[in-house]
Chains A and B, each alone.
Chain A
Amino acid sequence: MSTYADPYASSRETTEGTVFSVTGGDWDSLVTEIGQAKEERVVVNMGPQHPSTHGVLRLVLELEGETVTEVRCGIGYLHTGIEKNIEFRNWTQATTFVTRMDYLAPLFNEAAYCLGVEKLLGITNDVPEKANVIRVMMMEFNRISSHMVALGTGALELGALSPMIFCFREREKVLDIFEFISGLRMNMAYIRPGGVAQDLPAGTVDKVLATVKDLRHSFKDNEKLLVGNSIWMKRTEGIGYLDLAGATTLGVTGPVIRATGLPLDLRKIQPYSGYENYKFDVVTADTCDVYGRFLIRINELEQSLRIIEQCAEKLKSLEGAPVMVADKKIAWPAQLSIGADGMGNSLNHIREIMGTSMESLIHHFKLVTEGFRVPAGQVYSAIESPRGELGAHVVSDGGTRPYRVHFREPSFNNLQATSAMCEGSMVADIIGAVASIDPVMGGVDR
C-alpha cells in the first residue's frame, strides 16, 4: 500500500477487496499497488461515461492481465419511462415520445408504432400510396444517417479519425433533407397514425436526387479509407465472433445476424409500407465478425440509395396525392406547413376554423384534445431498423390513449450478445465488438 494519498489514484478497502478510484493522471502508483496484490483478477468498470460506450453503457470487466474473462453490461442510465408516459397521452401525441427512444433512428420508431396503431384500427390498406412512398424514402435516408454514425463513431473508437469526419459530413446532408421535408433534423414525429404529418415541399424530388448523387460519390471516400485497409482489418477481423446459433438463441437481429450469412431482413421476408414494390438486395457476410458487420453497413448504404431513387421516381407521378387517410375521424385535421419562422399550423387552416367554419373548429378541437378511439386488442408490428428488428407491441382497451406499448428494441436484445462476443478476448477488442453491435442507449433503456 502506498504511504501517501495519491490524489489521482486513491484506494480503499471493501468487503470485495481493494477498490481503486482512478481519475487519470499518475498511473505509476496504481500499477505498483496492483502489482503488490496477491490476486491476478482485476475487476474494472468501463463507463458509464466512457467515450466509446455509445452513451451511458457501463461494462463491468473481469480481467486477467489483458484478457477479459467476464463481461457484464449495466444499463438503465438513460431510462426515461417513455412507455409509461405514452399511456397518459393520446394515440397521436405518442409519436412525439417514441421518436425520442432510439435517437439515431427516429423515423423507424415512429413507423413501428404507427404501423401498430394502423393495424389495430384496421386501416393498414387505407394509408395512401404517397404516404407509404414518403415513409419508405424517409426510413431509407434515416438508415443512411444511422449507419453513418455507426461507422463514424466505430472507426473513431478504434483510432481512425478521418472516417468520422467524412461520415458526419454525409450525415449532415441527410439531416438537411429531413429538415427540408419535416422541418426538423431529429425527433421529427413526422410519421403519424394514418400517414405523414405533412406533404412534401415543392422541389423535393430534385433535391433528393441531387443528394443521392452527392452521397453516392462521397461514400467512396470512406470505402477507400477502410475497406481492405490492413490496419483496420487487423482490428476487426475475427473480433467479436458470434455465429448463427448464438445469434438466434440470443434474439440478435440486424447487421449482426446478417454477418453470419443469414439474409434475415424484414423488408424482404415480411414487407410493410410497400417494400415489396422496390428492387434491392439483402446484404450479408459470412465472417461472423466485426469486419463483416462493417462491410454490411457499408454495402447497405448503396441499397438504401437504390430504394430512395425508386421512391423519387414514384413521387414524380404522385404530385398532389393525399398523404393522410381519408377517414376524417382519424386523420389529423390540418397539415402543418413550413413558414419563414419554421414549422407551424397552416395559415389557411387557421383562417378556416377561426373565420369561416364553426363545424371545422369543433372537429379540430375534438380530435386534437380528445383524439380518436382505437378498437380494443393487441398487435405486434415489426420493421427492419438499422439495428435489426424493431417491434412495437401495441395494446388498446378501446380508449383514446394507448393501454400499453412495449418496444422490442434491437439495441436492447443485441447488447446481450456482448458477453458472448467479448469473453476471452483482449480489452481493446471490446471496443470494436460493442461498436459493431451499434447500440443506442436511448433505445436500450427507453
Chain B
Amino acid sequence: MSEDKQGMFGAAGTGDTSGYGGLVLSAASTGSTERPYGGYFDQVTDDLERAYPDFADAIERVVVDRGELTLHIKRERLVEVSLILRDKLKFEMNMGVSGVHYPEDTNRELHAVYHLLSITNNQRIRLEVSVADIDPHIPSLVEVWAGSNWNERETFDMFGIIFDGHPGLTRILMPDDWQGHPQRKDYALGGIDVEYKGAVIPPPSDRRTYK
C-alpha cells in the first residue's frame, strides 16, 4: 500500500509484454487527516483527548476517509484507550477484529483493525494497530469486550498475530496442528492445474493477473 505500482500485469519474469508499462497506480495516503474532520468525528476525538491526556502520544494518526474515522494506536496504549472509549465515550460494542497483512509496510506488516459501535450515541469508529512481522504481539481486549475472544482467535489463526493476555489463544477455524497462517499474503492459495480439452488452466493464484 505504501508504494506506487507500475505496469499493468502482475506476473513478473514472463515474456508477456502486452501490458501498459506506463501505467502508475498511486498509493493510498499515509498521512493524518487535517481538521476539521466533519460529522461527529471532531467531537469524538475532542472527547477522547479530554478524557485521555496522553492522546498525542498514544494516537499515531487520525484518518478520516470515505466518511469513516480510523484511529491508529500504539499497541502499548491499546487497552487504556479502549477502556476510555468503552466507559467514557460509550463505545459499548466491539463488532470484530480483522487482520490485514501488508508485506510492503516494513516493520508494520501486520495490522489488527477493530470496529467499535456506540449504541448510546449511534456512532462508529475504527481502531488500527500495526506491528512488525518479527514481533507480532498485541495486547488482548478480551478483558474490555468479552466478545473479542473468538475474533482474536480468528485473527491469530489467520495472521499469526499473538494477542497477549488472551485466555486461550488457540486456532479456531483451521485444525489445531495446521502449519502457517492462511490469510497472510505469503501463504499461497494453492490449487492444481485443470486440463480441459487439451488446454491446461493454472490455479487462480498462478494465472496472469491485473494489478
Contacts and interface: CB of A to CB of B under 8 A. Distances in A.
B96 A371 contact: no
B93 A83 contact: no
A404 B99 CA distance: 9
6 contacts: A89-B204, A378-B113, A379-B68, A380-B124, A400-B210, A412-B150
A250 to B, nearest CB: 4
Contacts of A373: 25
B146 A249 contact: yes
A65 interface: no
B65 A413 contact: no
A248 B92 contact: yes
Name the interface size band of chain A: 35 or more
List the 4 closest pairs (A to B, CB-CB), nearest first. Answer: A251-B147, A406-B98, A376-B28, A408-B96
B45 interface: no
A250 B146 contact: yes
A393 B96 CA distance: 10
Interface in B12-56: 25-28
Interface string B177-206: 000001100000100000000000000110
A250 B119 contact: no
Contact of A81 (B26, B145, B182): B182
Contacts of B140: none
A248 B117 CA distance: 10
B96 A391 contact: yes
A398 interface: yes
Size class of B's contact patch?
Answer: 35 or more
Interface string A388-412: 0101010101111101101010001
B126 A83 contact: no
Best-surrounded residue of B113, B173, B175, B209 (most CB of chain A within 10 A): B173
Contact of B65 (A76, A79, A377, A416): A377
A252 to B, nearest CB: 7
B172 interface: yes
Contacts of B1: 376, 397, 403
Contacts of A85: 189, 204
Contacts of B126: 380
Interface string B153-166: 01000000000000
A88 B205 contact: yes
Interface stretch (A156-164, A169-177, A234-242, A262-270): A262-270
A289 interface: no
A201 interface: no
Interface in B117-167: 117, 119, 122, 124, 126, 145-151, 154
Interface in A247-263: 248-252, 262
Contacts of B148: 251
A330 to B, nearest CB: 15
A398 to B, nearest CB: 5
A122 B100 CA distance: 22
A400 B122 CA distance: 33
Nearest to A382: B95
B4 to A, nearest CB: 9
Contact of B147 (A249, A371, A378, A403): A249
Contact of B173 (A79, A252, A393, A398): A79
B92 A399 contact: no
Interface string A353-393: 00000000000000000110100111110100000010101
Given A391-B96, A398-B25, A445-B173, A119 B147 contact: no
A120 B99 CA distance: 19
Interface of A: 75-76, 79, 81, 83-85, 87-90, 119-120, 122, 248-252, 262, 264, 269-270, 370-371, 373, 376-380, 382, 389, 391, 393, 395, 397-401, 403-404, 406, 408, 412-413, 415-416, 445-446
Given A249-B146, A401-B209, A416-B149, A395 B189 contact: no
Given A379-B65, A393-B96, A445-B173, 18 more contacts: A79-B174, A84-B182, A85-B204, A90-B210, A119-B66, A248-B93, A248-B119, A251-B94, A377-B65, A378-B65, A378-B113, A379-B68, A389-B117, A393-B115, A397-B27, A403-B100, A404-B101, A416-B149
Given A270-B122, A401-B209, A84 B183 contact: yes
Nearest to A375: B28
Contacts of B172: 75-76
Nearest to B145: A249
B182 A376 contact: no
Nearest to A80: B173
A75 B211 contact: no
Contacts of A89: 204
Nearest to B154: A412
B210 A399 contact: yes
A44 to B, nearest CB: 20
A374 B210 CA distance: 12
B88 interface: no
B131 to A, nearest CB: 16
A302 to B, nearest CB: 25
Contacts of B182: 81, 84
A373 B65 CA distance: 18
Nearest to A404: B100
A269 B68 contact: no
B115 A380 contact: yes
A408 B98 contact: yes
A413 B147 contact: yes
Contact of B26 (A380, A398, A416): A398
B100 A395 contact: yes
Contacts of B65: 377-379
A252 B124 contact: no
